[in-house]
């Protein structure tokens, strides 16, 4: 296990596991966590033996959002936001070739929800509380929330969540398609770990091609998207060992 200041990172065979580790502040996202997260994601991307990634949180929460006490030390919100953009953690997550399973519990607020929405399979414990409070705090979400939220939920419902910042539970998150499964709190890590292990058994290149087809397809016409799918399918067969 590699232990960073703000997260734990280990490998179990073909499965990588990143666990946010600032439990005293409900895993609030700060600059050090940004840097640690970026390094761990780079390690996953560069390791050909890793075929799936599990992301979870230590303690009573997945992630309660940005560390506002740290933002309060910045000269302005502009500087605070620039600090968050210095490393493109969100782009790294989106660009991972391996499937990403996110285990969500406790609180999944702001940046926590933005991290989760960049995962491929999002499994939530029944007792989880969700919210996207940035607009209520005088900020526009800058870690993908304004884009990933309406790509999962109905756009009008996504806008309502953004503008009100209200809290909602796991069952509503499931109805809104922000999570893919809800399980009893005590089963979360077991279910998420099994799902990630199952994905780790898949061919890395085939998974990467399938993820690429799914992400790029909506930007194309149906005819172009089908042609792209055919090209990726042929390429994946050509890459298979004889």
Catalytic site includes residue 160: no
CA distances from 23 to 60, 78, 103, 126, 242 (A): 7, 28, 15, 20, 49
189: its two tokens:
């890590």
Set 114, 172, 186, 219: catalytic member: 114
The Cα 100–Cα 50 span in angstroms is 11
- Closest-CA residue to 58 (of 98, 106, 97): 106
CA distances from 234 to 40, 206, 229 (A): 32, 11, 9
The Cα 157–Cα 182 span in angstroms is 20
Set 39, 70, 134, 157: catalytic member: 134
Catalytic site includes residue 229: no
The Cα 24–Cα 174 span in angstroms is 28
> Which residues form the catalytic set?
114, 134
């Amino acid at each position: 296990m590699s232990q960073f200041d703000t997260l734990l990172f280990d490998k179990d065979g073909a499965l990588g596991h990143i666990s946010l580790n600032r439990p005293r502040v409900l895993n609030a996202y700060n600059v050090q966590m940004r840097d640690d997260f970026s390094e761990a994601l780079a390690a996953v991307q560069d390791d050909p033996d890793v075929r799936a990634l599990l992301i979870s949180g230590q303690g009573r929460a997945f992630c309660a959002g940005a560390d506002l006490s740290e933002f309060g030390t910045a000269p302005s919100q502009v500087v605070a936001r620039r600090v968050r953009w210095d490393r493109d953690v969100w782009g790294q997550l989106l660009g991972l070739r391996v499937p990403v399973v996110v285990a969500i519990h406790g609180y999944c607020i702001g940046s926590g929800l933005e991290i989760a929405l960049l995962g491929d399979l999002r499994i939530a414990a029944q007792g989880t509380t969700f919210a996207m409070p940035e607009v209520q705090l005088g900020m526009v979400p800058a870690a993908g929330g304004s884009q990933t939220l309406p790509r999962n939920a109905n756009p009008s419902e996504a806008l309502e969540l953004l503008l009100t910042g209200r809290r909602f539970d796991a069952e509503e998150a499931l109805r809104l398609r922000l999570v893919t499964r809800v399980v009893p709190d005590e089963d979360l890590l077991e279910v998420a770990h099994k799902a990630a292990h199952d994905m780790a058994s898949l061919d890395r290149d085939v998974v990467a091609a399938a993820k690429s087809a799914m992400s790029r397809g909506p930007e194309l016409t149906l005819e172009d998207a089908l042609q792209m799918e055919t090209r990726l399918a042929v390429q994946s067969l050509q890459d298979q060992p004889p």
